[in-house]
């Protein structure tokens, strides 16, 4: 892995999950920036330009699908990989996320934080 620190933007409104993932990513030497609602997450993505974004779907102010649409429509953020990390597991929601440009779709209940780290590394081609 290169010496460049990977910047992850974690957009998640659950304080427990935000803390858990931030801790895990920190242990992996990732730099973690977080936002607890979709609107803040969208603004931070544009300001910080992270290497990858983990995005929840059900959030206050702007849902993850809306954030994803804005990210992919903006020339500054359209090439940032996005992994949807959510508990929505209906086929049409997964298809919608992928159609809008997500690089992966993870259902929170099915993945341990270490597996999420592996998915991030895979999307960023770090392993």
- Angle among Cα 115, 38, 85 to the nearest 5 degrees reads 15
CATH topology of domain 7-123: Rossmann fold (3.40.50)
Cα–Cα distance, 67 to 77 (Å, whole number): 11
pLDDT (tens digit per residue) in 92-101: 888 999 999 9
Radius of gyration of the chain (CA): 13
Under a CB-based contact definition with an 8 Å cutoff, are residues 12 and 18 in contact?
A: yes
Burial group, residue 79, by CB count within 10 angstroms (0-12, 13-18, 19+): exposed
pTM, entire model: 0.91
Strands 31-35 and 52-55: unpaired
Cα–Cα distance, 14 to 23 (Å, whole number): 14
φ/ψ (deg, to 5) at 65:
-65, -40
pLDDT tens-place values along the chain, 127 residues long: 445 789 999 999 999 989 999 999 999 999 999 999 999 999 999 999 999 999 999 988 999 999 999 999 999 999 999 999 888 778 888 899 999 999 999 988 888 888 999 999 999 988 6
Question: Residue 4: what pLDDT?
Answer: 77
> Helices (DSSP H) in the chain: which residue ranges?
15-27, 38-48, 64-73, 91-99, 113-123
Q: Residue ranges of the domains in the chain?
A: 7-123
């Amino acid at each position: 892995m290169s010496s460049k620190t990977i910047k992850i933007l974690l957009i998640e409104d659950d304080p427990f999950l935000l803390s858990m993932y931030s801790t895990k990513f920190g242990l992996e030497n990732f730099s973690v920036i977080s936002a607890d609602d979709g609107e803040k997450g969208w603004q931070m993505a544009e300001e910080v330009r992270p290497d990858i974004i983990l995005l929840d779907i059900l959030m206050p102010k702007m849902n993850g699908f809306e954030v994803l649409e804005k990210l992919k429509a903006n020339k500054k953020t359209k090439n940032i990989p996005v992994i949807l990390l959510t508990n929505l597991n209906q086929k049409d929601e997964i298809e919608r996320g992928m159609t809008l440009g997500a690089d992966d779709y993870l259902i929170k209940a099915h993945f341990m934080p270490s597996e999420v780290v592996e998915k991030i590394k895979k999307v960023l081609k770090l392993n």
